[in-house]
């Protein structure tokens, strides 16, 4: 009898002792520790490429091949001669990029893990019509005012600075600091600071809308669960990963951050919005960022916006003159 | 650091296809801002580099026939990744001679995007072998 | 045989309960490592953002009447003067004359250091043992403050690079690597890219921080000079910074000349 009781004591106690590394990843006040500099750069695309069909995971060998292909394809140097003849103005080569040098550790073929086809669910019929109108509008009015341009080009927001945190082609770096009342995530791109209270305070009133929404978090065991609402709906919301889109004011994201090891945070985010026929969930793994975050003062150096607008005005002027 | 090449393929387009995004639009405004029908090669001397976001800008003095000097500016990428790879404000000093291949700005000004920036001895600026700068997977 | 195991389990539980998160030795909040804990929402009680020197009331743009007039206020500068070199004094006068066009604040540009600390909006500090982030409500400006070995700045920036060390219970932050484009206030006071700022944050009781900043820029000033004011804690713990992304409010101003005009 006594021996059985001892066993009930001893086994958990020993398990507790042997849990060593997990204990080291707690803040002094006992919350899971997510702090530090992290990156979510990855070569895995948001959506599974159509040519991969139903293939959910790469094998190790396939992943290596895919990585080589992706790095070569996005390097740009490989294509420069072809592009000169094609007259493609091009973009950045790999020197400017920070997509990392690997796919996600699970070797999934997409960041989207639900639905099973690895793709953003279809819009509802009404939302699909709105989407098509957005595309048509953009073709007719590429740059009447900055409001026709992407949030990234306006220096209002990039993919990692709000929920869901989607990687951009570069500068996918974050600084996480915790206090007993807050988990705060600063994204390098656009120096976004997401302040996430974890003390149960309510959301802002529904009529108060922010470009980064309004986030509230809580720890469930080892996982930080964050709910974001109060988003300003916008069609150019998802950074480069998903351009012209449709959002409603019911847009809501639930994120889950779990420190799965000293060098990894598993990130999951589920997007729900009545414009989609189903919710969708991404899974991305954050790894340590070695090196500092660098200031990204976007608006202050934004020659690009005046360049885009003036370029389109000049084209309109020439078209008008040649039409006379 | 070994210097290889700059600016590559229709990167934005390739990215979009690979990502399978639902839209055909390009993220970057490159083709809105720069004209594929106006390729240009500039040989000149760097006078200033603005290491700023969202794009760094390289300013050149380009000598023309007859002794005039044209002032040009060339658009590059976000410098932050390069900074993390060891670049500083002094890395490409004024006085450096370069050859720039790019496409002219559609607004008619002396501006272009820096598709390909080369030093006269053949080294191409804005390096790095693909994939460096991020941690290995294993 | 039972007792030693109970003691072992007891010790484990105590050891792993998590160190205290709140102590207040000396009447100020402290981190687990004993250092003062600067976390909280703070705001400067001063009109320095209009003018860091003592100033009377003056008119704003006439169409906005009293709404955008400059209020009066006491200065925050030791000696109530800024030791400009002659050319820099000229530049300040030009800035002042053009302030309703040229002030970077007008354009929602990052305010730089020290101005970010005395704008009339809150800032929020997140401070843990190894991490320190200062977030500002205006334009979402932010500074990561390096608590480890000092880092040099590789390129210039609006908010500079911040390296911190402790001097007793005072946090000393050295800020450098500025691009010289920020102003110090709406009156056109300014510094250049050679600016170095040494900030000192010292608690004056649990709900106030005495802040000072010493500015040194041999290309702009004939000697270093110091400003000082008090940051006051927001007593409501349920309030954190809200988003003040002012970029969209400046687009017409900055790009309006390139907008497509409606056709007749």
Do residues A220 and A120 share a domain? yes
C251 contacts A145? CB cut-off 8 A: yes
- C156/chain B closest Cα distance in angstroms: 8
DSSP secondary structure letters along B15-81: HHHHHT-S----SS-HHHHEEEEEEEEEEEEEEEEE--SS--EEEEEEE-TTS-EEEEEEE---THH
Quick one: closest CA in A to B85, which residue? A291
Among A79, A110, A141, where does a domain finish? A110
Residues 6+ apart with CB under 8 A from A11: none
B102 confidence band (pLDDT: 50, 70, 90):
confident
For the segment B30-48, what is each residue's pLDDT rounded down to a tens digit? Answer: 788 999 889 999 999 999 9
Residue partners of C242: CB distance under 8 A and separation at least 6: A204, A208, A210, C137
A159 with A303, same domain: the answer is: yes
Same domain? A71 vs A189 = no
Residue B36: which of A87, A310, A313 has the nearest Cβ?
A87
Give the domain-ending residue among A110, A126, A149: A110
Taking only Cα atoms into account, the Rg of chain A, rounded to an integer number of angstroms, comes to 23
> What averages of pLDDT result for each successive group of 10 residues across chain A (324 residues)?
49 44 75 96 92 93 90 64 57 66 90 95 95 90 94 92 91 96 97 97 97 97 97 81 82 97 96 96 94 94 96 94 82
CA atoms of A181 and A192, how far apart (whole Å): 19
Name chain B contacts of C155, Cβ cutoff 8 Å: 51, 79, 83, 87-89
Which pLDDT band holds residue B87 (cuts at 50, 70, 90)? confident
In a domain, A311, yes or no: yes
Pick the last residue of a domain from A110, A140, A157: A110
Beta bridge partner(s), residue B49? B58
Whether A233 and A163 map to the same domain: the answer is yes
Q: Across A10-24, A51-65, C4-18, C193-207, which has the greatest mean pLDDT?
A: C193-207
Neighboring chains of A (3 or more beta-carbon pairs < 8 A): B, C
Nearest to A288 among B20, B132, B135 (CB): B135
Q: How far, in Å, are A25, A29, A32, B57 from residue C18 at the CA level? A: 11, 5, 11, 50
Residue C189 inside a domain? The answer is yes
> Is the residue at C156 inside a domain?
yes
Let me know if A172 is exposed, middle or buried by CB neighbors in 10 A (0-12, 13-18, 19+).
buried
Residue B54 inside a domain? The answer is: yes
Judge residue B17's burial from the number of C-beta atoms within 10 Å of its C-beta, 0-12 exposed, 13-18 middle, 19 or more buried.
middle
* Distance of residue C218 Cα from the nearest chain A Cα, in angstroms: 25
Q: CB count, 10 Å around CB of C223?
A: 7
* Token representation of residue C219: 């290309």
Q: What is the pLDDT of residue B36?
A: 84
How far apart, in whole angstroms, are the C-alpha atoms of residue C78 and residue C76?
A: 7
- Is position C171 within any domain? yes
Helix (H) or strand (E) holding C201: strand C196-203
Give alpha helix (H) positions in C21-167. Answer: 86-97, 99-102
Number of domains in chain A: 2
Q: What is the model's pLDDT at position B11?
A: 32
A269 and A126 housed in the same domain: yes
Q: Which helix (H) or strand (E) holds A307?
A: helix A303-322
Minimal Cβ distance to C251: which of A30, A146, A313: A146
Taking the mean position of all CA atoms in its chain, how far away is CA C114?
A: 5
Domain assignment present for residue A54? The answer is yes
Mean pLDDT of C150-173: 97
Domain range enclosing C59: 34-256
Q: Is residue C223 part of a domain?
A: yes
Sequence-distant (≥ 6) Cβ neighbours of residue A178 within 8 angstroms: A27, A31, A33, A34, A35, A184, C126, C128, C131
d(C-alpha C11, C-alpha A7), whole Å: 18
Q: Are A168 and A239 in contact (CB under 8 A)?
A: yes
Write phi, then psi, for C57 (nearest 5 degrees): -70, 150
Provide the pLDDT for residue A15.
42
Range of B39's domain?
A: 11-118
**Reduced to 3 states, what is the DSSP secondary structure of residue C231?**
strand
pLDDT of residue A153: 93
Task: Say if A263 falls within a structural domain.
Answer: yes
Q: Is residue A193 part of a domain?
A: yes
Which residue in chain A has the smallest CA separation from C23? A29
Pick C20 or A148 by higher pLDDT: A148
Contact A244 B111 (CB under 8 A): no
Number of inter-chain CB pairs under 8 A, A vs C: 155
> Is residue C26 domain-resident?
no
Q: Does residue B74 belong to the interface with chain A, where contact is any CB pair within 8 Å?
A: no
Q: pLDDT of B15-26, one tens digit each?
A: 323 333 333 333
B-chain residues near A315 (CB < 8 A):
106
Question: What would the two tokens of residue C235 be?
Answer: 């007593």
CA–CA separation, A197 and A201 (whole Å): 7
Contact call for residues A289 and A38 (beta carbons, < 8 A): yes
Look up the ipTM and state it. 0.90
C-beta atoms of C156 and B79 within 8 A: no
* Average pLDDT value for residue range C149-177: 97
Q: Please choose, from the candidates C39, C16, C242, the residue with its C-alpha nearest in 3D space to the C-alpha of residue C124.
A: C39
- Sort out which chain C residues have CB atoms less than 8 A from A178's CB and list them: 126, 128, 131
Candidate from C2, C146, C258 with C-beta closest to A6:
C2
Q: How far is B101 from chain A (nearest CA, A)?
A: 10
d(CA B82, CA B127): 9
- Kindly list the residues from chain B whose CB atom is less than 8 angstroms away from the CB atom of residue C156: 51, 89
* CA nearest to A102 within chain B: B137
Min Cα separation C103/chain B (Å): 20
Residue C28 lies in a domain: no
The Cα-based distances of C237 to A69, A231, C207 in angstroms read 51, 24, 12
Number of domains present in the structure of chain C: 1
Q: Which of C178, C243, C252 is the best substitution to test chain A (most A C-beta atoms within 10 A)?
A: C243
Among A252, A210, A200, smallest CA distance to A227 is for: A252
| Domain contains B132 | no
In C, minimum Cα distance to B87 occurs at: C154
The answer to whether residue B123 sits within a structural domain is no
Write out the residue range of the structural domain in which residue A121 sits. 115-324
Nearest one of C110, C117, C188, C190 to C156, comparing CA atoms: C110
- Which of C161, C186, C135, C167 is closest to C36 using CA atoms? C167
Q: Do A307 and B115 touch (CB under 8 A)?
A: no
Does residue A188 lie in a domain region?
yes
A103 within domain boundaries: yes
* Structural domain includes residue B114: yes
Q: Are strands C142-146 and C161-167 parallel, antiparallel or unpaired?
A: parallel
Give me C71's structure tokens. 């209020």
Q: What is the pLDDT of residues C115-152, one digit of tens each?
A: 999 999 999 999 999 899 999 999 999 999 999 999 99
- Residue of chain A minimizing CA distance to B2: A95
Query: Which residues of chain B does A96 touch, with a Cβ-Cβ cutoff of 8 Å?
Result: 76-78, 81-82, 126
Q: Are residues A225 and A307 in the same domain?
A: yes
CA angle C48, C118, C86 (to 5 degrees): 50
> What string of DSSP letters covers B69-126?
EEEEEEE---THHHHHTT--TTSS-TT-EEEEEEEEETTSSSEEEEEEEE-TTSPBSS
Residue B133 lies in a domain: no
Neighbouring-strand partners of residue C145: C162
Distance CA A178, CA C244 (A): 22
pTM: 0.88
């Amino acid at each position: 009898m006594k021996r059985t009781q001892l066993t009930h004591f001893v086994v958990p106690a020993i398990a507790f002792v042997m849990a060593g590394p997990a204990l080291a990843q707690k803040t002094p006040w006992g919350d899971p520790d997510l702090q530090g500099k992290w990156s979510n750069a990855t070569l895995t695309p948001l959506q599974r490429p159509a040519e991969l069909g139903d293939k959910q995971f790469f094998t190790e060998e396939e992943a290596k091949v895919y990585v080589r292909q992706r790095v070569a394809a996005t390097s740009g140097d490989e294509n420069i001669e072809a592009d000169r003849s094609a007259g493609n103005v091009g973009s950045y080569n790999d020197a400017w990029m920070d997509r990392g040098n690997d796919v996600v550790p699970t070797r999934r073929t997409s960041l989207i893990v639900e639905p099973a086809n690895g793709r953003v669910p279809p819009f509802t019929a009404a939302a699909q019509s709105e989407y098509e109108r957005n595309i048509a509008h953009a073709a007719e009015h590429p740059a009447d005012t900055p409001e026709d341009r992407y949030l990234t080009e306006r220096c209002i927001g990039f993919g990692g600075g709000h929920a869901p945190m989607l990687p951009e082609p570069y500068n996918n770096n974050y600084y996480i600091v915790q206090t007993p009342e807050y988990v705060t995530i600063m994204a390098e791109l656009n120096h976004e600071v997401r302040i996430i209270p974890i003390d149960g305070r309510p959301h802002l009133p529904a009529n108060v809308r922010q470009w980064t929404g309004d986030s509230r978090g809580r720890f469930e065991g080892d996982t930080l669960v964050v709910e974001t609402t109060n988003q300003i709906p916008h069609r150019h919301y998802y950074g480069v990963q998903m351009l012209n889109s449709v959002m409603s004011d019911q847009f809501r994201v639930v994120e889950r951050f779990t420190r799965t090891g000293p060098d990894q945070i598993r990130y999951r985010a589920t997007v729900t919005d009545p414009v989609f026929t189903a919710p969708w969930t991404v899974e991305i793994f954050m790894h340590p960022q070695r090196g500092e975050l660098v200031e990204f003062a976007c608006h202050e150096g934004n020659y690009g916006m005046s360049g885009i607008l003036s370029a389109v005005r000049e084209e309109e002027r020439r078209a008008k003159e040649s039409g006379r | 650091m070994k210097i290889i090449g700059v600016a590559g393929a229709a990167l934005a387009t390739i990215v979009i296809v690979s990502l399978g995004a639902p839209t055909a639009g390009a993220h970057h405004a490159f083709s809105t801002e720069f004209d594929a029908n106006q390729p240009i090669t500039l040989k000149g001397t760097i006078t200033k580099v603005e290491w700023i976001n969202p794009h760094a800008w390289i300013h050149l003095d380009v000598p023309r026939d007859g002794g005039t000097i044209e002032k040009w500016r060339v658009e590059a990428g976000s410098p932050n990744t390069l900074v993390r790879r060891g670049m500083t404000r002094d890395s490409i000093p004024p006085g450096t001679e370069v050859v720039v291949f790019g496409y002219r700005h559609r607004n008619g000004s002396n501006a272009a995007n820096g598709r390909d920036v080369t030093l006269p001895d053949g080294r191409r600026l804005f390096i790095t072998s693909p994939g460096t700068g991020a941690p290995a997977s294993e | 045989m039972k007792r030693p195991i109970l003691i072992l389990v007891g010790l484990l539980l105590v050891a792993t309960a998590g160190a205290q998160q709140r102590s207040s030795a000396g009447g100020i909040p402290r981190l687990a490592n004993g250092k003062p804990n600067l976390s909280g929402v703070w705001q400067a009680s001063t009109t320095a953002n209009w003018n860091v020197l003592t100033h009377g009331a003056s008119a704003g743009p006439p169409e906005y009447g009293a709404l955008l007039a400059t209020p009066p206020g006491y200065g925050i500068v030791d000696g109530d003067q800024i030791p400009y070199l002659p050319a820099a004094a000229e530049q300040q006068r030009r800035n002042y004359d053009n302030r309703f066009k040229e002030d970077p604040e007008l354009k929602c540009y990052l305010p730089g250091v020290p101005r970010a600390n005395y704008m009339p909006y809150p800032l929020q500090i997140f401070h843990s043992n190894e991490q320190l982030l200062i977030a500002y409500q205006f334009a979402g400006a932010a500074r990561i403050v390096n608590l480890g070995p000092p880092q040099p700045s590789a390129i210039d920036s609006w908010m500079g690079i911040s390296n911190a060390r402790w001097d007793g219970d005072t946090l000393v932050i050295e800020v450098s690597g500025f691009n010289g484009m920020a102003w110090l206030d709406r009156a056109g006071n300014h510094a250049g890219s050679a600016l170095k700022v040494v900030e000192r944050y010292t608690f004056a009781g649990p709900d106030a921080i005495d802040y000072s900043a010493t500015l040194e820029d041999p290309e702009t000033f004939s000697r270093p000079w110091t400003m000082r004011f008090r940051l006051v804690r927001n007593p409501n713990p349920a309030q954190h910074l809200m988003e003040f992304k002012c970029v969209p409010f400046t687009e017409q101003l900055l790009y309006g000349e390139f907008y497509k005009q409606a056709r007749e």
